[in-house]
Structure formats: structure tokens, C-alpha cells
Amino acid sequence: MRVNLISPRSPVTVVTRREKAIQFSRLSLMTVAALFPADTNIRLINDSLEGIDFDEKVDMVGITTLTSTAPRAYEIADRYRERGIPVILGGIHPSALPEEASLHADAVVIGEAEGLMERLLSDFRGGKLQKIYKSDERPNLANLPLPRKDLLSGNKFYREMDLVQTTRGCPFGCDFCSVSDFFGRTYRTRPVEDVIREVKLLKNRRIIFFVDDNIAGRPDYAKQLFKALIPLKVHWFGQASIIIAKNRELLRLAAKSGCIGLFIGFESLSPEGLKQVHKTVNRVNDYDEGIRKIHDSGIGIIGAFIFGFDSDNEGVFENTVDFIERNRIELASFSILTPLPGTRLYKQFDEQGRIFERDWAKYTCGEVVFKPAILSIDQLQDGYYWARKQISSYGSIFRRTARLNKIALLSLPVNLVMRKASRASLKDIKTSMFDKTT
């Protein structure tokens, strides 16, 4: 059987050098690929980087999609289906809106694929695919087949990156986040020995990216994992909530196990903003001290911030940039609050009649799709661009990374790459705020 597994083109992918594009969605496709029988001829296709040959003879196509890539996913699906090739859609968006997705698919997989693929493949062979596949039980993460990383070798469109998943889900339930909806309000862990076995099999093992939504969601598990990583002498990045800074032992073990950077969702400097979206795990008053403790342990920070909370006014952009520079946060990422389908925020904004845009391609977290409370739509959009431009200036990069330590030195080239990508995507944008400051 020949199968193409496709990640659709993102409306915001900035590919400065084709072979250098970072495509995180690959891990989900490699994970799904591992659920097919070993003799299946599988090809991974990265639609952002390579063309799709719709005339290629394949028996089945699988497409994973987020909300912003859904229109492109549907376009690809429709073109294959016109040729009589069955298409399976899965991922976060089809799981949130299965009826919509099923208009473009022979079958839709809701939620995680493990525990469903066997039935789906048996139905496919018998010529009786169901429209929807959904399991009421969350898969146990023990003994999962390892992602088919071998499918990357020889594929010039994919840059190999050591992505590993150790947990699924998050113990928290922020209103804007799709994680709890997709994985349920559960936090499941893979056995530490399974993770270590996978890490040992990685080809490069230079820098690992743990793709978990919150690697320290269960401190006892995280401690075991970090202890087991120490002898492997790896370097790694991961995502965690700021409360990791309150657990000195956990932080010490993270650093000792090779952690060089944590992606942390600060989201807002406004307690009211955090309260609005039930990000109860964050305490604004603890941010400065938490950042200092993480830095003191030798770990860098990639800080994520969201604009557009109901309490945000015109000052939010400058305050946030000042905060990032004052605390020397090595890398910063900005988003516009986006009511993604399936989340509680979507339901709330929908009921309040605040969503004015339903073109999913605009749900990139970089475009305003709802009516803000205090800011105007233009102020929110302009302010977001302004903050991105400020943080990618040489002055800001210097202020945040001018230190003679390992993290600062490592983050400098990444900042410069991000500056290039950011400036490329902002090149044609002219806003009133830019005119004032540049």
C-alpha cells in the first residue's frame, strides 16, 4: 500500500532557506506513520517546501491540520478526492470541527490516532471506511511505537531535528489553548525508560526539542526523567510553566540534565488578563523572581506573550517590550489572542458576537479576528507588529543577550535568524505606530 502523509502549507511560513525551515508538525506525521503496517510505502510531504504531485499513484492520503492550515488542507483533500483517492483528515482542527472536516474527507480521526488506526485500516481494506473515528479512551503512552524518523532520511525537504514527546496534555486548562480540548484534561506520561530508549536511538543527539506542552506538569515524573537524562549528556529545549521556578530541585535537575532553554507562556503582565482566560497557574508578581531563578540555574528563556486581553490598553505593547528587555528574556514570541475553534474562548466570544472573521487561514495568532474590549482592531494589529519590530531590532537583541554566558551566546544567532524571518514577514506592513518609531 502506498500512502502520502501531508502537512499543509501554513499561511505564515517564512522560508528563508528552503532546507532550513523548521516544521514542527512532522513529529505528528511520523507518529501516525508508525501506526501503519511495516510494509506500507509511506512518504511524508511538507507542502510548505515541496510541490504535491496530485497524479502520483497512491492508495490513501492522510493530512494533519491546525486551524490556520485547514483551508489549504481542504483544498489538497478535494484535489485528491476528485481523482478517487481516499483522504483521512486528523489533527487539532478536524478534531474540533469534525462535521466541517468530513465535507472534505472520506474519514475524520478525532483526537489521538493510537487505538483508532487499526480499525480504520481494517475498514479501509474492507472498503467500508466510516465517516468519523473517535475513541472514548485516551491511549496509554507505554510501549508506543517509535515515530518513523527513518522516513526523513534522504528527504531533502526535511531538516532532521531531534523532536521527542514525553507527555501529552497539560494539568491546566487555559481558555485559549487547544491542548486540553485535544488531549482531554489529562496529563499522561510515557515511561521514562521508553523516552530514554528513544533518545539513545536519535542519530544526532546534539540538541533535543521535547515537544510536550508542559514537560514539568508532574514534578515527580519530570525529576525522574531529568535524572535519567543526565548520563546521556544531551542538550535540550522544552516547554514549561513559570511555576517550575518555584521548585529549586526540579530546576537544578533540569539544568544538570542539559536543559538550555525553556519556552514559557507568560501570556500577559495583567492579572485581569490572566484571570479572563483562567491562566491560573501564572502570578504576575512572581515573574521577575522566577525569571531570575531560571537564569541563575543556567537556563535561557523563550517568553511567549499574547496581546488582546480585555484589560489590554494602548500601553500594553510598550510595557511588554520593556518587561522583556528589563528581564533579559533571550527570545520572545508574540501572538494576538485568537479564539481557536474547540476552545472555551471560542465559545465565549461566539456567544458574545465578537468574532468577525471566520476565514480559518487568518487564525494564525498574528491577525485580529475578534473585537477587542478596549483597543480598536487596528490598535491591536498595529501594536502587535510594533512589538515584533521592536524586539527584532539590533538594540533590543543587544540589550537582551549582551552577557558572556552560554545561554546568551547561544541565543544570539537564533535572535538574528528570528530577526530575518520577522523582518521578511513585516516588510510590506506600514502602520501608524511604525511611522512614529522608525
Q: Which residues are near ligand SF4 by CB under 6 A?
A: 170, 172-174, 177, 179-180, 213-214, 241, 265, 279, 281
95 or 241: CB nearest ligand SF4: 241
- Asked whether 375 and 313 are in contact (CB, 8 A), the reply is yes
34 or 174: CB nearest ligand SF4: 174
Strand order in the sheet with 87-90: 41-46, 2-7, 60-64, 87-90, 107-110, 132-134
- Asked whether 2 and 33 are in contact (CB, 8 A), the reply is no
* In the complex, minimum distance from the CB of residue 252 to ligand SF4, in angstroms, rounded to a whole number: 22
β-strands 87-90, 107-110 pairing: parallel
- E strands in 60-146: 60-64, 87-90, 107-110, 132-134
Which residue reads 517546501 in cell numbers? 49
212 or 330: CB nearest ligand SF4: 212
167 or 396: CB nearest ligand SF4: 167
Could you give the CA distance from residue 160 to residue 146 in angstroms, rounded to a whole number? 16
49 or 179: CB nearest ligand SF4: 179
* In the complex, minimum distance from the CB of residue 173 to ligand SF4, in angstroms, rounded to a whole number: 5
* In the complex, minimum distance from the CB of residue 279 to ligand SF4, in angstroms, rounded to a whole number: 6
Could you give the CA distance from residue 380 to residue 314 in angstroms, rounded to a whole number? 8
* In the complex, minimum distance from the CB of residue 167 to ligand SF4, in angstroms, rounded to a whole number: 11
Work out the number of other CB atoms within 10 angstroms of the CB of residue 245. Answer: 25
Could you give the CA distance from residue 252 to residue 264 in angstroms, rounded to a whole number? 17
* In the complex, minimum distance from the CB of residue 39 to ligand SF4, in angstroms, rounded to a whole number: 37
* In the complex, minimum distance from the CB of residue 332 to ligand SF4, in angstroms, rounded to a whole number: 16
7 or 268: CB nearest ligand SF4: 268
- Asked whether 79 and 54 are in contact (CB, 8 A), the reply is yes
